[in-house]
Amino acid sequence: MNILLATSEAVPFAKTGGLADVCGALPIEIARLGHEVAVVMPAFRQTFQAGQSIEPTGVELSIPIGRKTVAGTVLRSHLPGSDVPVYLIDQPGYFDRPGLYQQDGKDYIDNCERFVFFSRAVLEIIEQLQLPVDIVHANDWQTGLVPAYLKLEYAGVPRYEHIRSILTIHNMAYQGNFWHWDMLLTGLDWKYFNWQQMEFFGNLNLLKTGLVFADYLTTVSPRYAQEIQTPEHGCGLEGVLSQRRHALTGIINGVDYRQWNPATDQHLAAQYDAGNFRQGKPVCKQALQAELGLPQEADTPLIGFVGRLVDQKGLDLITQLLKDTLATNHVQWAILGTGEAKYHELLPTLAARFPHRLATRLEFSDALAHRIEAGADIFMMPSRFEPCGLNQLYSLRYGTVPLVRATGGLADSITNATAENLAAGTANGFSFQTYSTAALGETLDRALAAYREPATWQKIVKTGMTQDWSWARSARQYIDLYEEALHAPELSRT
C-alpha cells in the first residue's frame, strides 16, 4: 500500500506535543512492515533548524485561497534513520514564523488561511510529484480539510478517485474553529456550511469537517474513542462522533524506543535498563538534582512533571497540592513545561519560596525532558483528560513510576498498584478516578508509602520497564485499518 501522512508536526522537523512524536515514528514502523509511506508537512522556521538535509524538488505550487492564488514550493527531506520521504510545503509568508500556531500566547490571526493552503497543497503534490497514493492519513484540525477536498473536488479525478482518507484525532479540545467568513478561503460551496457538515454554532470548524468527510476515523487510545462520544469529552462534537462510531477506532500510540530508551539515551549521566536500574537510576537522579539546584538527597522521593502547563494536564490539581504540601511533605519536585500565563507566574513563586523542594524550568527542552524521565522516581500526570499521553509510556521504560488519573490513554496503559494487581504482577503505576486535589493527594501518599518498601517499589518499576509499548503492534492496527478502508465501500456521511 501507498500511504501519504499529512501532519503539521513530526519529530524532528517541528514539535509542540505528542502529535509530532506520533508522526515522526509511525511512518517508520509502517515502512518497516513493508509499505510505502511519505510524510507531508509545512516547512516551518523550526523545520530548517532541525539539522536535517533539505533539498528542493523543483515543484512549484499555485494554490487558490479565496479569490487569490498563493505560490509555494515543495522541498524534500526524510525521517532520520529511514528512507521515509518528508515533503515540506514551503510558503515563508505563512510558515516562516517564530511559532507553529501562535506567538506570545495568541493564535495567528490567519491560521485558517495557513491550513487551507497546506491542506490543498497536500493533495496537489500527489499530482505534481506523481505520487502513488492509496490512503491519505490526515491528523487533527490542521488537515481536517484534506478529506473534504478529496471527496468534493477530486472525485472522479484519475490519480485520486480510488484514494481513501483517514483522520486521526490527537486531541478533541483543539478543533480549528474560525469565523464563518473564513469559509470563503476554503473555496468550498456555502451549502456545506451547515450544522451537519462544516458549521459549528455559527463558526467554521475544521476538525468537524474532517470528522464528517473522512472515510475512517481513529483516535489515539481505545478509552478515548469511547470518551469522545460523551458530552464530557466530546467538546461539542460528541453527536458527530456517535453518528460515525462505526467508522471510529481507538489505536494506542507507541513509543519510539530509538529516542526514548534509558539503555542508549545520550542525554543521561548513566545508561541503564531493567537489569541494572538500581545502579543507573540513582546516578541520573543525583545529576538531575544537581542540574536543577535541588539538594542531592538519594532517599528523598523526586516527583517529575513534563508537559504543557494547561488545565488539561491537571496543573490546577498539581499547583494546589504543591501549595498544600510543600511546607510539610518531604519530597522534591522537578517541573518542566510551558503554557498558560497563570502557571508561569505561580510556579516560580512557589519555587522561590521552597527552593529545596521545587525546581521549575519553564521552557521547552527535549534533553531535560529525558533527564527528568530518568532522574525522577514518580512521574505525575493527573490529567483532566488525556487522549493517549506519551510521557507515562516513556516513564515506564525509564523506571519512573507513573501516577495518573485514570482517563483516556492513561487508563489504557497504567495498571493501578492495588494489592490484587501487585499480587498478579501487573501493577505498573498508581491511578485515581475523581478529579480532585484530595484524590491526587491520597494517591501520592499511597505511592510514597510504596516507595518506602523497596521490594514493592522495585517490582512496580520492573513491571513497567519490561513492558513493550513499541509502535510495532499499533502500526499493524493502522495497516489493518488502511486495508479495510481500501476494500470497504465509502463510509463517510456525504
Q: Provide the binding-site residues for ligand ADP, judged by CB under 6 A.
A: 17-18, 21, 171, 306-308, 336-338, 364-366, 369, 388-391
Q: How far is the CB of 447 from ligand ADP (least distance, A)?
A: 20
Grid coordinates belonging to 458:
522495585
Residue with smaller CB distance to ligand ADP, 148 or 288: 288
13: Cβ–Cβ under 8 A, 6 or more apart, which residues? 24, 41, 44, 46, 47, 50, 52, 77, 86, 88
Residues 6+ apart with CB under 8 A from 30: 3, 37, 475, 478, 479
* Rounded least distance, CB 190 to ligand ADP, Å: 34
Considering beta carbons, is residue 21 or 227 the nearer one to ligand ADP?
21
Confirm if 163 and 485 have CB atoms less than 8 A apart: no
The distance from CA 140 to its chain's CA centroid, rounded to whole angstroms, is 10
Question: Closer CB to ligand ADP, residue 364 or residue 435?
Answer: 364
Nearest approach, Cβ of 337 to ligand ADP (angstroms)?
5
278 conformational bin, left if phi > 0, alpha if psi -120 to 50, beta if neither: alpha
- Tell the smallest beta-carbon distance from residue 3 to ligand ADP (Å): 22
d(CA 461, CA 379): 12
- Distances in Å between the Cα of 204 and the Cα atoms of 184, 411, 421 are 10, 33, 47
**Is the sign of the CA dihedral 373, 378, 383, 388 positive or negative?**
positive
Query: Do 208 and 200 meet the contact criterion of CB atoms below 8 Å apart?
Result: yes
Instruction: Cell 539515551: give the residue.
Output: 265
Nearer to ligand ADP, 18 or 375 (CB): 18
Q: Which is nearer to ligand ADP, 21 or 215 (CB)?
A: 21
Nearer to ligand ADP, 20 or 148 (CB): 20
One-letter amino acid at 322 equals L
Give the residues across from 90 on adjacent strands: 73
Q: Exposed, middle or buried: residue 231 (CB in 10 Å: 0-12, 13-18, 19+)?
A: exposed
DSSP-based three-state secondary structure for 63: strand
Instruction: Give min distance, CB of 484 to ligand ADP, in A.
Output: 26
**Between residues 64 and 339, which has the closer beta carbon with respect to ligand ADP?**
339
**Minimal distance in Å, beta carbon 391 to ligand ADP?**
5
Gap between the Cα atoms of 41 and 77, Å rounded? 11
Please answer whether residues 319 and 295 qualify as being in contact, where contact means their C-beta atoms are separated by less than 8 angstroms. Answer: no
- Minimum CB separation of residue 33 from ligand ADP in Å reads 23
- CB 18, min distance to ligand ADP, A: 2
- Is the bond into 295 cis (omega within 30 degrees of 0)? no
Which residues, 6+ apart, have CB-to-CB distance to 153 below 8 Å?
Answer: 123
CB of 17 to ligand ADP, least distance (A): 3
**Angle 59-21-416 (CA atoms, 0-180°, nearest 5)?**
160
- Give min distance, CB of 388 to ligand ADP, in A: 6
Q: How far is the CB of 170 from ligand ADP (least distance, A)?
A: 7
Q: Is 373 helix (H, G, I), strand (E, B) or coil?
A: helix
If the CB atoms of residues 44 and 213 are measured against ligand ADP, the closer one turns out to be: 44
The answer to whether 4 and 133 have CB atoms below 8 angstroms apart is yes
**Residue 410 CB, nearest approach to ligand ADP (Å):** 10
Q: At what angle do helices 18-32 and 471-487 cross, to 10 degrees?
A: 70
- Tell me the C-alpha distance between 152 and 197, whole Å: 12
**Minimum separation from the CB atom of position 260 to ligand ADP (A):** 8
Q: Report the residue number, 128 or 467, with the smaller CB distance to ligand ADP.
A: 467
Question: Toward ligand ADP, which CB reaches closer, 169 or 350?
Answer: 169
Which strands, in side-by-side order, build the sheet including 203-205? 177-178, 203-205, 199-200
Contacts of 280 (CB under 8 A, 6+ apart): 262, 268, 270, 271, 272, 273
φ and ψ of 120, to 5 deg: -65, -40
Which residue in the shown chain puts its C-beta closest to ligand ADP?
Answer: 18
